[in-house]
Amino acid sequence: MRTLRLILGDQLNIRHSWYKQLDPNVLYVMMEVRSETDYVRHHAQKVLGIFAAMRRFADALQSAGHQVLYLKICDQQNRQSLSENLKHIISDKQITRFERQQADEFRVEETLEQLASTLSIPVEIVDSEHFLCNREELKEKFAHKIPRMEFFYREQRKHWQILLDAQQKPLGGKWNFDAENRKKWVGTPKAPDWPIQAQNLQALWDEICSAGVKTMGNPSANAFTWPTGRQQAKVWLQYFIQHALVTFGDYQDAMSTESRTLFHSGLSFALNTKLLHPLEVIQAVVDAYEKQLAPLAAVEGFVRQILGWREYIRGVYWARMPGYQTLNGLEHHRPLPSWYWSGKTKMNCLRHAITQSLETGYAHHIQRLMLTGNFALLAGCHPDEVDHWYLGIYIDAFQWVELPNTRGMSQFADLGLIASKPYTGSASYIHRMSNYCDECSYSYKEKIGDKSCPFNSLYWNFHVLHESKLKNNPRLAMVYKNWQRFDSAEQEAITQQANHHLSNLNSI
């Protein structure tokens, strides 16, 4: 009996039970393939980071005595597709059993299921032992009605016994400290940068380029900063706890030209490639609270992101795929403005967030939601375009987490399955939460005229256009009431201004 075990690029969980025993009859297979680099145009750092982490993982397995077959992107025998490589290896190495972990992306799961149906050897699919919720149970639970995240999160707190008192009540008397997490950041306390442990990945980058992979953004190959190994990822986690956790909650929604990271952890890449386990991250921040190193509001806010949002989003994905990826409930059809790929816009907030994304493969949640996402929504861009952009540009983008966040939370294309109202904001929101408007060609105060901030007229135009779908939403009652406060001439001028912006999106 000779078993092939497939390890995908986002399955770098060295603590998986597969690796507990050395077995000379098991061959681990890992591969860098064009079918994975080309399904969307990825950020250069995403391709580099995943391949570098895969190579380190393969080395670690080999050093531990496991047998590994690793196909590099430029290897001549690489057939550049998961299925074709697997078929060849199975026949070449006389494999009699194929085992794999559940794939997190629907596309990959489908490919591997199709492959299995053509094989004449036994196939076993095991859990990736990473997530906190079982996928089949989540699928069933979310099949008919998607619960609000808050209720799901409370259940998870109880299930995992996180931040509860002896009576099973939430510590501090409430489940959610979000209301305390909305401060603007004006430069103090100083925002820590992430730990810089730059690696030189130039040789790997040369291989990627010579294979002809097309990417976007700055590769930063000479000084690559994202963690590509478990030890490095653990250093990031400790660094976050020591330097940023205390203020994570306070400035969670803040944005600034003076700091790319503010007090965010930057752990999404390490989590999504499974270098870190979500429970070890949660436990580490809860320990910090118990040692009085961080306040409850900050710790609860952070736990909610991982125990709540991350697991919830995955549940929505698996309960609603494949239909979810084509939803376009607001019937938006415009292309994304061309400056989403260059950052060349006069709008300071978007210029900053997009340039930073192209430079680093990272933007924090509110930049994604309330800048790039908000603008694409107000401008009526097609959710397919928006999805492709998000799936490509961020180092942490894997479809199971990107899609519900983008199409659902940010573009409202599911008409409210995830968000109880569209996440829209005018310039006053961006001004309140950032310093972007201080040095912008546009004026955040104006709705009409050449200097008027496009977010303003587009905000009103969006709500007017979608009145039939949104007006009965109680959370939007105030928006429609305020619209009625403008006289008809003002309403007409705002609509005209919005249409002017919409006709000139590429030069805005």
Q: Which residues bind ligand SF4 (CB under 6 A)?
A: 347-349, 427, 430-431, 436-437, 440, 442, 444, 453, 455
- Rounded Cα distance between 494 and 449, Å, is 9
* Pick 7 or 409: Cβ nearer ligand FAD: 409
Q: Give 365-423 as a 3 state SS string.
A: HHHHHHHHHHHHHHCCECHHHHHHHHHHHCCCCCHHHHHHHHHHHHCCCCCCCCCCCCC
Q: How far is the CB of 172 from ligand FAD (least distance, A)?
A: 20
Sign of CA pseudo-dihedral 166, 168, 170, 172: negative
Q: How far is the CB of 371 from ligand SF4 (least distance, A)?
A: 8
Show the CA angle centred on residue 190, arms to residues 188 and 191, nearest 5°: 115
Q: How far is the CB of 28 from ligand FAD (least distance, A)?
A: 26
466 binds, among ligand SF4, ligand FAD, none (CB under 5 to 8 A by kind): none
28 binds, among ligand SF4, ligand FAD, none (CB under 5 to 8 A by kind): none
* Pick 119 or 296: Cβ nearer ligand FAD: 296
Sign of CA pseudo-dihedral 217, 81, 76, 89: positive
Considering only the stretches 65-73, 151-159, 349-357, 405-413, report the one whose residues sit in contact with ligand FAD under the rule CB under 6 A: 405-413
Question: Alpha-carbon dihedral of residues 184, 190, 194, 195, nearest 10 degrees?
Answer: -170
Q: Across the strands, what pairs with 6?
A: 29, 100
Does residue 185 contact residue 259 with C-beta atoms inside 8 Å?
A: yes
Q: How far is the CB of 14 from ligand FAD (least distance, A)?
A: 19
Considering only the stretches 267-275, 320-328, 445-453, 484-492, report the one whose residues sit in contact with ligand FAD under the rule CB under 6 A: 267-275
* Pick 27 or 266: Cβ nearer ligand FAD: 266
Which of 369, 393, 417, 418 binds ligand FAD (CB under 6 A)? It is 369
Q: How far is the CB of 349 from ligand FAD (least distance, A)?
A: 15
- Report if residue 410 touches ligand FAD, rule: CB under 6 A: yes
Interacting positions 309-338 with ligand FAD (CB under 6 A) = 309-310, 313
Does residue 133 contact residue 311 with C-beta atoms inside 8 Å?
A: yes
Alpha helix ranges (H) inside 64-176: 82-92, 106-118, 135-142, 149-160
- Rounded Cα distance between 366 and 251, Å, is 11
- Report if residue 394 touches ligand FAD, rule: CB under 6 A: yes
Which of 12, 208, 271, 298 binds ligand FAD (CB under 6 A)? It is 271
Does residue 73 contact residue 245 with C-beta atoms inside 8 Å?
A: no
Considering only the stretches 50-58, 106-114, 204-212, 263-271, report the one whose residues sit in contact with ligand FAD under the rule CB under 6 A: 263-271
440 binds, among ligand SF4, ligand FAD, none (CB under 5 to 8 A by kind): ligand SF4
Total residues at the site for ligand FAD (CB under 6 A)? 27
- Rounded Cα distance between 388 and 372, Å, is 13
78 binds, among ligand SF4, ligand FAD, none (CB under 5 to 8 A by kind): none
Which of 205, 236, 318, 390 binds ligand FAD (CB under 6 A)? It is 390
- Rounded Cα distance between 117 and 448, Å, is 60
